[in-house]
Structure 1
Amino acid sequence: MNWAKPLLVVAALYNIVIGAGSLFGPGAPVETRVVGLLVLCFGIVYAVVSRDVERFRPVLWAGVLGKLGVVALMGPEVASGVQPPAVGWILAGDALFMLAFLAILLGKGRYSTA
């Protein structure tokens, strides 16, 4: 699975960008900034896992649970119009990354770090 490392790098950048946007958004309430900080930290975790996928891949269970939880909690709010449609795109990305993380976790064989 030589796709695991680049995928994790993209996941890291995705979380860092979204997290930083929430953390440093002008006028963002403290709750939004705390969530942004946690999202950014998950991005750092994905970057670490990308450095040695075989060694750190069990850590991705936290990413699976986190992304599943975010989609489950916020999906209905997007569907009902409480959250803006742009949040739906972010949740779609989270769902795709969650599926990719599951493929890494449940897949067989070694993972390329090159």
Structure 2
Amino acid sequence: MKGWLFLLFAITSEVVATTSLKFFSEYHNWVSVVFVVLGYASSFSLLSKALKYVPLSIAYAIWAGLGTALVAMTGVWLFKEPFTQFHILGIGLIVAGVAVLNVLAPSH
């Protein structure tokens, strides 16, 4: 359970960092840079802690896949980015890929 919590917080940190990167590119607010640096640093640190408990292939698939899906949804919500049926399809395929790795791949 501890590894999954580390992974959840790693994903959250990565989403905050990536969203802050977008804020910086749009508004040139230097506070955003602090969130980018701290977010990515904490994300990688937490991911490394999660890897003590969760297999690499599973942890990275979840971290990258859910991070990508959440960042896409954040872009739609905060920045009014377009969201088409192709976005839905792409995110669905990411989630399906993560699910396949979790269900069908041996854990060790």
After TM superposition, is the score higher than 0.5?
Answer: no
Relative to the length of structure 1, the TM-score reads: 0.40
* TM-score normalised according to structure 2 size: 0.42
Which has more helix, going by share of residues?
2
